[in-house]
Structure 1
Amino acid sequence: MSDFAKIPSVLDASAAIRECRLDPASLVRDCIDSIKSTNQSLNAFGDLYEEAALEQAREMAREARVGRVRGPLHGVPFGIKDLFYTQGLRTTRGSLTALDFVPERDAPIIRRLKQAGGIILGKTATTEFGWTGASTSRVFGNGRTPWDQRLTSGGSSSGSAIAVAARMVPAALGSDGGGSVRIPSAFCGTFALKATLGRIPTWPWSATEMLSHAGPITRTVRDSALLFDVLSGPDALDHQALPAPQASYLAACEAPLVPLRVAYCRTLFDVAVDPQIAAAVDAAVSQMREELGVAVEEIHLDWQDPVRIFETLWAAGRGIAYGKTLADRLDLLDPGFARLIEGAGRFDLEQYLDASRARAQFSNQVQQLFEGYDLLLLPTLPVLPFSADAVAPPGFERPDSLVPWAAWTPFTYPFNITGNPAASIPCGVSREGLPIGLQVVGARHQEGAVFNLCAHLEAINPWEQRIPDL
């Protein structure tokens, strides 16, 4: 058995550890071996906590043998996006300006992961302060999809998606302010759900808090649902946090497919979609109709592209907030992020308030769609992975924009603006064997419906057994 095939899913690992069929220390060692064998070429991980993780795993093995289980993640190792605050562990946030930053407190998502028995194995790569959908990084090296190491993994949760797809860890945590778990999941062939805003609490405060979400990246839909069961719920540190879900998301995956009103949109804003992506998404929708009996109505949406709304909220929020502390260190920053900081000063309060009002109007328009439909299907991205050393694919360069990556991610950031749950699930491959993602968007607070359909899609089109040729 290869090192890659040894790394189980979260659910499989959890059950085997609980039943003493799997030694957590053995699993941690397998993960470390997998990381060391491929990380140099893929750039998924930064700091590794080998000895600390092995010590924790040995203790959890002893606990499991006497029937003491801390929670549903007991003994399972995870990668943590290096944006999340981790008490006593360096959190670089992907920036040369923060290489020595060590938080004094865990973020809520980290605290909950630990309380459920999860082991932090290491920090996964992120772009600088999570600002871009590409995977370029001066701290970690440019992230590369395991399916073709010449090509980008997407970002900003680049390392987390790479680590899961390349079987370095059973799962990893990421964050999404404009597509940052869905973009790399589409390029790497993993599953990720950006939930309703506030479903998983975030902290510390962000200048783009109205866009920012936290959540896992996993190999399977059910793994994600289990983690959402563990990580969701209110926290005093996040004023936007939602009440605890009334039902288990994992149970939603196990339930029969509920009757659904599903809309399918081939594109948004008349953006040209790569023909291979269009064909794979079409095929997945046809399979859904034929094998699951889902009634899918193809529609055209005349929404106006909210890119200016997104750019104003993103650039003015992040640019001004970071500019106050980094204005004299721009030479250390990613050039694109430095341009964002320098350009943020052009926004005034009136423009920011106009963008906030336009955000509400666009959100109202999207919510009206979900008065007639339960779910919306569309491609996750219009493009296939491009060069890992580039920030955009050919034809999508926007050097005049402060958020140039939005040009090639037009299907993800709209649902950060609106706060709707939106998942990316693998639905096919290109001629070159590159993963293609289908995006499943739900009404606000309806993650259960997204999980329910995605679990049934996964059952008729399983992906987990596909392993990159590493």
Structure 2
Amino acid sequence: MPDVIGAAQQIRRGEISSEKLVGNCLQQIKSHNPTLNAFGDVYDEQALEDAKNCDRERQSGKSRGPLHGVPFGVKDLFSTAGLRTTKGSLTSLDNVPESDAPIIERLRAAGAIIIGKTATTEFGWTGSSYSRVFGHGRNPWNPALTSGGSSSGSAISVAARMVPAALGSDGGGSVRIPGAFCGIFALKASLGRIPTWPWSATEMLSHAGPMTRTVRDSALLFDLLSGPDARDHQALPAKNESWLARCDQPLPALRVHYSPTLFNTPVDDQIARCVEQAVEQIAHSLPVTLTARPLDWSSPFETFDTLWSGGRGVAYGAALQQQLDQLDPGFAALIERAQRLNLADYLAAQKQRAAFAGQVHALFDSVDLLITPTLPVLPFAADRHVPENQVPGDSGVEWARWTPFTWPFNLSGNPAATIPCGFTQQGLPVGLQVIGRRYAEGDVLQFCAALEALMPWDQHQPSL
């Protein structure tokens, strides 16, 4: 299965037809989706018809755009005109939007083919892959284990070579968590880089973006999908450079800070070992000045809990009050907890968020990049929300306790990517997180491209 750039080039040169590529993807989905639960709705007939039209247009000298005829998976949280969007909930099985989200409009405008909707947890509320709609998402490297979430199906579909790439969203780690567990690349950009719509009650945390096998694929897709949209008041102005071009430029001298953990969180020994080895290679082979020490930040867990539980719980609680019995029990508990929050709690959390974000931004006065493990834990059983050894709590975001390195950068709005950096003894991929200053995604992508060249991973595939 070619990656995005390879697929687009092969179609453009006539080396492979879009119909053949889509057919290969559909065969992979047919073979592996019953086990891995990556896709919900798959548009077999429509995707093949679109592919045939793309092939006819190419033969007549026409091109729809840089992604002409390339198939994609789309997370089932994104609004897709005329295509069912269940949002992973039994309460929305008949929801068919009338309009495309901005990211979908741009994907179509670039010539891509939507081959299906990928699985997500209910309304994207948790970092696991637990789902009563799609079946629990399963890790291609070991199907007994979780893929992570909430962009579970998108990560699985890319790692298992069902599609060249897929779209995901990230409100607390939802592209980076499954990206790390499944061994692919995923960047959560600066807040507003790719516009989001419809409105979300956690809009200050929510990001949209691609999930890919390579850094350069991600850079290309951000080049195509970024830019303002009137429907998103947080959307950033258009970029003034190509991030794909940045990936092909020599890496300049950078100041990189390595924090082996955050908030004194214990890190699994195998993860720590892989990350340390990657850091050593970075220090020896890339033009960086490396500093290494744990950061002394205090955990903003309660802040995130209040904003996430308050936003999701109040907004969905009002709409779903008569359907709580149809919800994932964990999400229903989040809604119940949200009813105990008041305006003073929410405003205090907003103030605390600003203070924490200020700490993060101040760090980048003296460094260019921060690197950490993406996650402190290895994948756990696919039918669980949290690892087996996690002590139960009464928070609405218990999943955030085992993902303490991802959601802080949703609070601060910084770009943060996960990049594969090695494998455990059991053959499970390990992710390294690379964080940049606000609006400096180009720095993150250029560094990750250099790291990818130093430690390539795409030749490793799960044994399906």
* TM class by smaller structure: over 0.9
In the alignment, what sits opposite 1:64? 58
**How far apart are the structure 2 equivalents of 1:271 and 1:405?**
14
Q: 2:408 aligns with which of 409, 414, 423?
A: 414
Equivalent residues of 1:263, 1:297 under 8 A apart: yes
2:347 counterpart of 1:343: no
**How far apart are the structure 2 equivalents of 1:375 and 1:246?**
21
Q: How many aligned residue pairs are there?
A: 464
Q: CA deviation at 1:398?
A: 3.2
Q: CA deviation at 1:299?
A: 2.3
Q: Give the match's secondary structure for 1:39.
A: helix
2:215 counterpart of 1:229: no
Q: Give the match's secondary structure for 1:469.
A: coil
Q: 2:177 aligns with which of 177, 183, 186?
A: 183
**Identity between Structure 1 and Structure 2 (%):** 64
Q: CA deviation at 1:300?
A: 2.2
Q: 1:163 aligns with which of 157, 178, 183?
A: 157
Equivalent residues of 2:223, 2:244 under 8 A apart: yes
In the alignment, what sits opposite 2:274? 280
Q: CA deviation at 1:22?
A: 1.1
Q: CA deviation at 1:24?
A: 0.1
2:299 counterpart of 1:300: no
2:28 counterpart of 1:34: yes
Task: Give 1:168's aligned amino acid.
Answer: M
In the alignment, what sits opposite 1:78? 72
Q: CA deviation at 1:11?
A: 0.2
Which string of whole-angstrom CA distances, capped at 9 and with x for unpartnered residues, describes residues 256-300 of structure 1?
A: 001111000000000000000001000001011112232211022
Q: CA deviation at 1:70?
A: 1.3
Which string of whole-angstrom CA distances, capped at 9 and with x for unpartnered residues, describes residues 366-418 of structure 1?
A: 00000000100000000000000111113324331111001100000000000
**How far apart are the structure 2 equivalents of 1:436 and 1:361?**
31
Q: 1:114 aligns with which of 108, 129, 140?
A: 108
**How far apart are the structure 1 equivalents of 2:343 and 2:231?**
27
Q: Give the match's secondary structure for 2:257.
A: strand
Q: CA deviation at 1:69?
A: 1.2
- My pick for the range that moved more, 297-306 or 451-460, is 297-306
In the alignment, what sits opposite 1:3? none
In the alignment, what sits opposite 1:263? 257
Q: Map residues 14-163 of structure 1 onto 2, 5 A cutoff.
A: 14-163=8-157
Which string of whole-angstrom CA distances, capped at 9 and with x for unpartnered residues, describes residues 6-36 of structure 1?
A: x110000001111111100000000000000
**How far apart are the structure 1 equivalents of 2:246 and 2:143?**
36
In the alignment, what sits opposite 1:398? 392
Task: Give 1:382's aligned amino acid.
Answer: P
Q: CA deviation at 1:153?
A: 0.1
Equivalent residues of 2:190, 2:413 under 8 A apart: yes
Equivalent residues of 1:398, 1:407 under 8 A apart: no
Equivalent residues of 2:254, 2:287 under 8 A apart: no
Unaligned runs of 5+ in 2: none
Equivalent residues of 2:155, 2:175 under 8 A apart: yes
Task: Give 1:160's aligned amino acid.
Answer: S
**How far apart are the structure 2 equivalents of 1:224 and 1:236?**
24
Unaligned runs of 5+ in 1: 1-6
**How far apart are the structure 1 equivalents of 2:79 and 2:18?**
25
**How far apart are the structure 1 equivalents of 2:324 and 2:434?**
38
TM-score w.r.t. length of structure 1: 0.98
**How far apart are the structure 1 equivalents of 2:391 and 2:319?**
29
**How far apart are the structure 1 equivalents of 2:421 and 2:75?**
25
2:453 counterpart of 1:453: no
Task: Give 1:259's aligned amino acid.
Answer: A
Q: CA deviation at 1:45?
A: 0.3
Structure 1 runs of 4+ with >4 Å offset: none
RMSD (Å) for aligned C-alpha atoms:
0.7
In the alignment, what sits opposite 2:423? 429
Q: Map residues 293-372 of structure 1 onto 2, 5 A cutoff.
A: 293-372=287-366
TM-score w.r.t. length of structure 2: 0.99
**How far apart are the structure 1 equivalents of 2:411 and 2:391?**
22
Equivalent residues of 2:80, 2:100 under 8 A apart: yes
Task: Give 1:201's aligned amino acid.
Answer: P
2:193 counterpart of 1:212: no
**How far apart are the structure 2 equivalents of 1:394 and 1:298?**
31
Task: Give 2:410's aligned amino acid.
Answer: N
Task: Give 1:98's aligned amino acid.
Answer: S
- My pick for the range that moved more, 292-301 or 245-254, is 292-301
Which string of whole-angstrom CA distances, capped at 9 and with x for unpartnered residues, describes residues 114-168 of structure 1?
A: 0000000000000000000000000000001100000000000000000000000
Equivalent residues of 1:258, 1:452 under 8 A apart: no
Q: CA deviation at 1:357?
A: 0.5
Q: 1:464 aligns with which of 435, 458, 464?
A: 458
In the alignment, what sits opposite 1:246? 240
Equivalent residues of 2:253, 2:287 under 8 A apart: no
- My pick for the range that moved more, 64-73 or 411-420, is 64-73
- My pick for the range that moved more, 292-301 or 116-125, is 292-301
Equivalent residues of 2:251, 2:287 under 8 A apart: no
